[in-house]
Amino acid sequence: MTATTAAGNAHHAHARRARTGGPEDGSRLMEHIAGWAFVVVFAMLVTRLGLL
């Protein structure tokens, strides 16, 4: 393996790791619903355990 090949492979690996958003599928609604469901379940857990 040459230095050019190693540098090229490192660049491609970094490009794959840097992208964390996933594909753009346009389902922001489901993302918001899941987020709010998590908030509600967490609030119920906190109140049931008497932590608030």
Is residue 35 a contact partner of residue 41, using CB atoms and an 8 Å limit?
Answer: no
**20 vs 12: CA distance, rounded Å:** 15
- The dihedrals phi and psi of 40, each to the nearest 5 degrees, come to -65, -45
Whole-model pTM? 0.49
Please compute the mean of the pLDDT values over residues 19-46 and round it to a whole number. 86
Evaluate if residue 44 carries a pLDDT over 90.
yes
How open is the CA angle 26-27-32, to the nearest 5 degrees?
A: 130
Tokens of 1: 């393996």
- The whole-chain average pLDDT of the chain stands at 77
